Chains A and B, each alone.
Chain A
Amino acid sequence: MEETTKSIVLGLCSGGIYALLAVSYVVIYKSTRVFPFSQAAVLIIGAYFMWFCLIVWHLPIWLGFLMTCAVGAILGMAIERAFMRPLVGQPILAPIVVTLCLMLLLRGIGILMGKGNIQGFGESFLPVGAWKISFLHLPKIQVYGFILCGVLIVGLMLFYAKTRLGLGMRVVHEDHVVAQNLGINVKRIFQYSWVISCIIAVITGMLLGNIQGVGLSLDLNGLIAIAAVLFGGLESFSGAIIAGLAIGILQMLTITYIAPLLPGETTMMAPFVFLLLILFLKPYGLFGLVRIERL
């Protein structure tokens, strides 16, 4: 019982990060109907750049954070402008291959930035140590990370709900042609979606780099977040959040219960088995929309 609670609580903390990453996928998918595999690799870029800021240039944490976010924004704008916009009229296959190749391109850039090594952050930018609450051993990093993810997600939801730009984005989510007829600049909305998504991915990269070490294996988290997105439904924010938390809990439970039974790295494999199960049972996800085609 103790073990289970510990797993669930720790799982929630890491699940928060997966939820944030899943939200970044859904932001782009809802706007542009292209599934951005490349966000998995933006994690790597974010982690490496933060490492540069903190370790190589010895900048204070807040400055590093802002600069990394700026880099994320620029990256998002560049990707959308250079790679996605020329492909606007083409069948669905083209943007997907481009995002996949972008994932590898960013991975390559990550190798060049980091000289191929896995670095720790040295002094991590979130405080180390842990709190003890009865039998729970909560690392501070995880909790602060979870709070940060929560703040960001809530901020994003408020942005969509309250601001005018958010309303415009929600219209684009429904129908591009209708949005254009209402005078919304759909291309700019695409750009904003990519910028938001890349900023989120870069922040997630910073957090994960802190926890897991800055290295090339960070994009595995991105791929696991894909399982979360599918579980929650490709077009649903609430689904992405809930599914991210669920995948986090699933991973922790796997570490506790299943890993001792099976050899090798089960923690990375379990979400994908779960993904296959979801496809069998509920392919559209928890809150996914089944589109009825008008004939």
Chain B
Amino acid sequence: MSININRPCGTFDRNYFQAKELYRTPLRKTLLALLIVGMYLLPLTMGDYGLSLLIPICAFTIGMLGLQIITGYCGQISLGHAAFMGVGMYTVGILQRHFGFSFWFCLPLAGLIPMFLGMMFGIPALRIKGLYLAFATLAAHFVIVYVINNWRSVTNGTEGMWMKRPDVLFGIDFKSDRNYYFLVLTITIIMTYLATNLARTKLGRSFVAVRDNDIAAEVMGINIAYTKIMAFGIGCFFAGIAGALGGAYYEYVNIAWFRLEDSIWYLGFLVVGGFGSIFGAIAGAVVWKILDEATTLVTPLAEIFLGGAAFYASAAFALVFYSLIIVIFLVFEPRGIAHRWEIVKRSYRLHPFPY
């Protein structure tokens, strides 16, 4: 963290500020700027289908960042991440439908309400050491799904709710997918910036401290319960925002989209992406969405090959295929794609030396 062992050859840190910089050399800064500009220019090359991939990728990225904070940085397992995304979506839906608030007002609430709800569920579990948060969030998932399904007057029950896109801002109309993509991309970049900074600050360090060695953390004046609750709260905040953005894209929200297996896929693809790094979270989200697309493509192929048996094969495909991928990654590359990427970067940096 503080000691940057991956500075390129010849660049040294002359003061402490330089030591802290993530993108140290002008080359890296330019590359980062190009990347961001490139992401904004992507819609020019792809039509609506591409946007239908990119916008959920951005939403999943925000959700994954949240889970990275909870699990990758703080080491707590949360099985309710999909449920809190649903809560975020439904917050926006309810506020729009019953109170007529605009999307802009609902968005921060869509983050805050899952955050407080999450902290409510998490507080009993986080006081104790052990994997009790997993059980608490498991229970939270079922309770949330039950409440949303049955509180018909507020949430419209199992039929789902309609949501509206954001209102016109600065003359940009967000009804078109492309403009909505720019909005989602901007929010994703902001959230990534916040998450990266969080990792470098005092609270972020205490997350890692609690994960690595909580006895040592206690000795150093870190309040373990507070740290874990903050990690869980911030993670659920990210999940809520992700849910709100995704829901506004589809303009319809239904809790049936958020099953327990979605929470497990969140965890699993976070493992595939890599724990403990922002790049890992983004990689996991991208891999997940790509596999989702592959799954939807399988269905017509299955029709061709398996005939009548197709409908259940495609239902099982995601379950079997994703689980195998996640388990294979866990067994062979437990630090995920991010670690592999580091190795690739190191090998080309040190070329032709082996290490």
Tell me the A residues contacting B by CB distance below 8 Å: 35, 83, 86-87, 90-94, 96-98, 100-105, 107-109, 111-112, 115-116, 223, 226-227, 230, 262-266, 268-269, 272-273, 275-276, 279-280, 283-284, 293, 295
Contacts and interface: CB of A to CB of B under 8 A. Distances in A.
A104 B124 CA distance: 28
B135 A97 contact: no
B327 A102 contact: yes
Given A93-B77, A276-B124, A283-B124, A269 B146 contact: yes
A230 B131 CA distance: 11
A262 B312 CA distance: 34
B324 A272 contact: no
CB-based closest 3 A-B pairs = A108-B319, A116-B312, A105-B323
Given A112-B313, A115-B312, A276 B140 contact: yes
Contact of B327 (A83, A108, A284, A293): A83
Interface of B: 71, 75, 77, 79, 121, 124-125, 127-128, 131-132, 134-136, 138-140, 142-143, 146, 149-150, 152, 215, 261, 264, 267-268, 271, 275, 309, 311-313, 315-320, 322-324, 326-327, 330-331, 334
B264 A283 contact: no
Given A86-B331, A112-B312, A262 B139 contact: no
B139 A276 contact: yes
The secondary-structure label for the interface of chain A is helix
A97 B330 contact: yes
Contact of A269 (B79, B124, B143): B143
B128 to A, nearest CB: 5
A293 B213 CA distance: 12
Contacts, number: 130
A30 B288 CA distance: 34
A268 B142 contact: yes
- Of the listed residues A107, A223, A272, the one surrounded by the most CB atoms of chain B closer than 10 A to its CB is A272
A167 to B, nearest CB: 27
A263 B150 contact: yes
A165 B103 CA distance: 64
Contacts of A112: 312-313, 316, 320
A272 B139 contact: yes
A108 B124 CA distance: 33
Contacts of B334: 87, 90, 94
A102 B261 CA distance: 11
Contact of B150 (A87, A94, A96, A264): A264
B321 to A, nearest CB: 8
A101 B264 contact: yes
Given A92-B131, A111-B315, A112-B313, 6 more contacts: A262-B150, A268-B142, A269-B143, A272-B143, A275-B136, A276-B140
Contacts of B79: 100
B135 A226 contact: yes
